[in-house]
Amino acid sequence: MKIDGKHTRSIWLEPDGWSVGVIDQTLLPHRLALLRLAALEDAARAIRTMQVRGAPLIGAAAAYGLCLALRADASDQGLERAYATLLATRPTAINLKWALDEMMAAVRQQPRAQRIAVGYRRAGEICDQDVAINQAIGRYGLNLIEDIARKKKHGQPVNVLTHCNAGWLATVDWGTATAPLYLAHDKGITVHVFVDETRPRNQGALTAWELGQHGVPHTFVADNAGGHLMQHGLVDIAIVGTDRVTAHGDVCNKIGTYLKALAAKDNSVPFYVALPSPTIDFTVADGLAEIPIEQRGPEEITTVTGRAADGRMATVRVVPDGSSVANYAFDVTPARLVTGLITERGIIAATRTALEGTFPERAAAAR
């Protein structure tokens, strides 16, 4: 997608052909700073600290992280160590494990001398595959937007609510939840997006920045505004991303997604989840019981970071000293609250039958 009109992906190989470039997302939307990852630990740190974030991008960064590790040590032990280090960076998004498993399957059987080249090739394919998946999700999701637009009076916008950032910054390009929005906007459909702030990390600010760069009209709202907006008929459709979808269609996504789904159900607002197939975890049957929910540091809740009046980044405390804090990063929305899953193979029901029927090879591999 575009930064200042220039096409950019969220992750790329640097001109040296081996180190990896990413955008430091902890500084956006206030400052655009690029990072160069040159070693396993750089990649692991970038994922852990959320300089790179979003399920598909975490997977892509881990894939390249394994390549960087191979450059230093291409032995079996080095490979296993790198796999374990990267897998431990964040627990919830299954794309991380998916990408690492894909990489291991590609390089493990290779002689040591071949592993680096094969690894980089596979990591590049994982990135390109993500882009293709998101474009396909975009095309299917566009049909939903067009259906709503047809029922609107001329010039009235299709109002979409989204949570967190499931945009191009969270993927390699296009985004999952945002791909239909970009396609609709480019087609001349008037789309307007309500962007949830998404405390504590404010990923909504990333979504707002992306949409702004592409010229998509949007309104930034506090996390708790969604229910009110839906009650007043201001939301035509909710589209969110996901970090892991179970075999039965339960959706794990950024904390607060469940509450949006409940409000959507109560107000008969269609609630869709944009789901790239690497985010399906057919080994999990019960999302609530089995998906590990990341708990992050209390400082993410007790403080807010942003741009001060003098232009400098500043962090201020917003919680009284001494209060105990819990920082749950994700929640699980039961399949019964999900209107449909927008996948790269079409829009399907959030059910085991539909998921297995649409992705039989993934279901079989998990057995």
Residues near ligand MRU (CB under 6 A) are: 53-56, 93, 164, 166, 170-171, 176, 203, 241-243, 253-254, 329
Cα gap 41→331, rounded to integer Å: 29
Residues noted as catalytic = 243
Q: Which is nearer to ligand MRU, 53 or 192 (CB)?
A: 53
* Least distance in angstroms from the C-beta of 294 to ligand MRU: 7
Give the separation between CA 170 and CA 178, rounded to whole angstroms. Answer: 10
Nearest approach in angstroms of CB 318 to ligand MRU is 20
Report the C-alpha gap between 291 and 247 in whole angstroms.
Answer: 12
Place of tokens 């998509």: 216
Question: Residue 6 CB: number of other CB atoms within 10 A?
Answer: 8
- Distance between CA atoms of 302 and 284, rounded to whole angstroms? 33
Distances (CA, A) of 64 to 14, 175, 351, 355, 359: 12, 19, 33, 29, 26
Residue nearest to ligand MRU (CB): 241
The strand pair at 20-23 and 11-13 is best described as antiparallel
Length in residues, the chain: 367
Of 170 and 355, nearer to ligand MRU (C-beta) is 170
C-beta of 58 vs 269, nearer to ligand MRU: 58
- Measured CA to CA, the distance from residue 94 to residue 283 in angstroms comes to 11
Rounded Cα–Cα distance for residues 190 and 133 (Å): 24
What is the Cα 76 distance to its own chain's centre? 31
Complex with ligand MRU: residue 35 or 116, whichever CB lies closer: 35
